[in-house]
Amino acid sequence: MDNIQKALRQINRSITDWDRQGPLHFEEFLHLATVRPQKFVRNIFQAFHDMIFYYLGEGSDEYPNDPESIHFVHYDCSKLFVEDVDHPFFADRLFSNRLVDLAESLKRGAQQNKIYIFEGPPGSGKSTFLNNLLMKFEKYIATADGTVFETVWRLNRYQFGGKFIENEATTLLETLSHLTGALPNAEKTIQQINRSLDSQDEFVEIPCPSHDHPILMIPKPSRRSFCEELFKGHEFREKILNDKEFDWIFRDTRCTICHSLFHSLLNKLRDPEEVLRNVYVRPFYYNRRLGEGISVFTPGDKPLKETILSNDQLQNQINRMFRDSNLVRYIYSRFAKTNNGIYALMDIKSHNVERMIELHNIISEGLHKVDDIEENVNSLFLAVMNPEDRKNIADFPSFSDRIEYIKIPYVLDLNTEVEIYRNIFGRHIDDSFLPRVLHNFARVIISSRMRQHSDAMVEWIDYPTKYRQYCDDNLQLLKMEIYTGHIPKWLNEDDRKKLTAKRRRRIIKESETEGEKGFSGRDSIKIFNDFYSNYVRKDKMINMADLCNFFTKVRKSLSDQIPSGILDSLLRMYNYTVLQEVKESLYYYNEAQIAREILNYMFAVNFEIGARPKNQYTGETIEITETFLEGIEKKLLGGKTESSDRLAFRRDTQREYTARALTQEVMSEGKNIQDTELFHALHERYVHNLKDKVLDPFLENENFRNAIKDFGRDNFKTYDRKIRDDVTFLINNLCTKYHYTRYGAKEVCMYVIDSNLAKTFSSK
């Protein structure tokens, strides 16, 4: 029994305050609106915007201080599309930004007279997207933050019609007596009818079938002055009076039923304020299954025969109060049920083509005819559609400017593609791959969905071949990085500067013409399953050789959809990257020694050969010789640099030192010499060239390779201390800096050595 009571109390706690207190008086609602206007004064379009950001948050921009930022930010869509759903949908960065842009435009008031169609190829997850979106919207509306409000009239039956009840009953019985003969207990029957009527609630509630916002009950000509007075002295006042976002308050008209009620009551009460005392407010609960607030139609749903809806019992009560059956006609259509809600079509084919055509006049005029009554329709119209189904609405060219297409193609963001694999096969799959190999699989899949030629990329990068160690000749791999919001560090300074906001928008814009062909979402899951099943092993991690072998030998037929050369480019990029990681992990930083040599060089280039000045920065006396300068220049420029290039570099360094570093940064701005741009540039060159050669002495030592192989085994103790220290330093750095496992770090080191990558890239 205790458990039963606890369970019942849990249900009791789950019921909100709104559910407990029932309809709220209009004046109380207005008070709450002045306290939290953004919550209490909003329509469907503003609520949709708020729902998107409720689940997505503000997003994160990796380059917040970039003057050329286009605010192409990362939104975590998991709460909206993945968590607590039957079938998760994964929105990549491109689509999530499109969805946010749509929400922002709706909030700004750019929502009128349009239907928003999410268009994408089969297998792109359109239906899953819309189902999850509507489910989360319904859940959001049921929260305290998401509550939206509708109008309900509460009329006192005795104030407006009580004095006629007995006469009506008498007349009814007299008529029945005339038709069927005298009734023996007529008086008693009348009393029973009256007792029955008296036992009814004092108030008759008449819900607005169109779910109008309560503020629309204010007569339209008076709304602006009403809002001016209501929000007087409030910071929200100017916003509600002038922002396009709230234009609906002064533009929209209340539904015909509410309009009729208002004027019928005004005729009786002669006072608008008294009329508004009959207006109450309650939460508008969306329920897709009942078609309240959300209605979704599939192509197989046949049109309803009953186009006019009514409530006979409520109509009789209204007629009794107003003594006229024509003053207030409580009739409406199914479109009223989604007014201030969402009307959605799942694919534009079969019966949904008819529904789409029916929407033409509604979207154009915002009105729908119900018998001889005009019904306002201000709904958020959504649909999903395959590109080939555009022909179904091609015969209505006037409809074209009423449609806004939002592309929902196959995933083009490699991070999202990887998340799909993790979700379906489990996050443990990461443990089977060497770092970046799983993402490179996603790159292969995505390359099939992209256009090989990009006008925007070609216009940006003059000579793609200069990035061959990082990218393919068509720059698809670079474009994939841009699509994830990442600007690679390997871009040179000139190309980084050329990536202006205008150019970046043009690149992102091209994504709307991609993702319509290639491997679909369903295809990629099947392909990954095949790949993973073929290569997963307990004693070996999946590497790039496995990846290339799968697409070139095991599933050779797939290569027809993969751009030519993409696998070679991926392998080259991978090889170059892991080589740099191993070099970085093996390199010992001796910052004091590096700084001392750079400061000596910066100081020495200002003197003639043979001079012996004392360096004011290091305190050392330097003998300026060609050998001294050449030795440092080889570390800065590389050993194969021609003497003419070294002399030109020497002159440029001397000029930069005297013109900027010394006179401007040190003497004028008070900087330390090691904080100058020249010092940082020389330091970067020095470290780069040291790392480039860091592997050379180890490659000639067979014991080094064997020690890596034996790392973690008893045999490792047999190697001399220097080799053990070097190998341990290397493995630990790979694990901490690049997130390898110890086993993975050993494998990648063996791969770099056995593939002789240091020699392959020695001239790069």
Query: What share of the chain has pLDDT > 70, as a percent?
Result: 91
pLDDT of residue 621: 92
Question: Which is more confidently placed, 188 or 583?
Answer: 583
Question: Is the per-residue pLDDT at 253 higher than 80?
Answer: yes
- Span 25-31, average pLDDT: 95
Cα–Cα dist 342/446, whole Å: 33
Question: Is the per-residue pLDDT at 763 higher than 90?
Answer: no
Here the tokens at position 697 are: 């002495």
pLDDT of residue 166: 45
pLDDT of residue 150: 96
- Span 567-579, average pLDDT: 94
pLDDT band at residue 358 under the 50/70/90 scheme: confident
pLDDT of residue 322: 82
Question: Is the per-residue pLDDT at 311 higher than 60?
Answer: yes
- Span 423-449, average pLDDT: 96
- Span 430-445, average pLDDT: 96
pLDDT of residue 758: 86
pLDDT of residue 327: 85
- Span 308-313, average pLDDT: 90
Question: Is the per-residue pLDDT at 632 higher than 90?
Answer: no
Question: Is the per-residue pLDDT at 757 higher than 50?
Answer: yes
DSSP 86-141: SS-----HHHHHHHHHHHHHHHTTTTTT-EEEEE--TTS-HHHHHHHHHHHHHHHH
Q: Which of 56-65, 327-336, 483-492, 683-692 has the lowest mean pLDDT?
A: 683-692
- Span 71-98, average pLDDT: 96
Question: Is the per-residue pLDDT at 490 higher than 60?
Answer: yes
pLDDT of residue 320: 84
Question: Which is more confidently placed, 246 or 189?
Answer: 246
Residue 572, amino acid: R
Question: Which is more confidently placed, 457 or 694?
Answer: 457
pLDDT of residue 700: 74
Interval 72-83: pLDDT, tens? 999 999 999 999
pLDDT band at residue 764 under the 50/70/90 scheme: very low
Q: Which of 147-161, 194-208, 704-718 has the lowest mean pLDDT?
A: 194-208
Cβ atoms of 90 and 409 within 8 Å: the answer is no
Question: Is the per-residue pLDDT at 637 higher than 50?
Answer: yes
The pLDDT mean for the chain works out to: 88
Cβ atoms of 748 and 734 within 8 Å: the answer is yes
Interval 254-286: pLDDT, tens? 999 999 999 999 998 999 999 999 999 999 999
pLDDT of residue 11: 63
What b-and-e string marks burial along 210-228, b requiring 16 or more CB atoms within 10 Å of the CB?
bbbbbbbbbbeeebeeebe
Q: Which of 315-324, 347-356, 555-564 has the lowest mean pLDDT?
A: 315-324
Q: Which of 128-142, 393-407, 727-741 has the lowest mean pLDDT?
A: 393-407
Three-class SS of residue 207?
strand
pLDDT of residue 373: 87
Here the tokens at position 620 are: 């050392």
pLDDT of residue 109: 74
Here the tokens at position 166 are: 């007995």
- Span 643-670, average pLDDT: 91
pLDDT of residue 446: 97
Interval 144-184: pLDDT, tens? 999 999 999 999 877 765 444 444 445 544 554 554 455 55
pLDDT of residue 178: 53
Cα–Cα dist 271/277, whole Å: 10
Question: Is the per-residue pLDDT at 4 higher than 60?
Answer: yes
- Span 385-404, average pLDDT: 84
Longest CA–CA span in the chain (Å) reads 140
What b-and-e string marks burial along 436-445, b requiring 16 or more CB atoms within 10 Å of the CB?
bbbbbbbbbb
- Span 637-647, average pLDDT: 83
Cβ neighbours of 266 (radius 10 Å): 14
Cβ atoms of 505 and 484 within 8 Å: the answer is no
pLDDT of residue 366: 78
pLDDT band at residue 493 under the 50/70/90 scheme: confident
Cβ atoms of 315 and 273 within 8 Å: the answer is no
- Assign residue 584 a region: left if phi > 0, alpha if psi is -120 to 50, beta otherwise? alpha
Alpha-carbon distances, residue 24 vs 27, 29, 273 (angstroms): 8, 6, 17
Query: What share of the chain has pLDDT > 90, as a percent?
Result: 66
Q: Going by DSSP bridges, is the β-strand pair 279-283/203-207 parallel, antiparallel, or unpaired?
A: unpaired
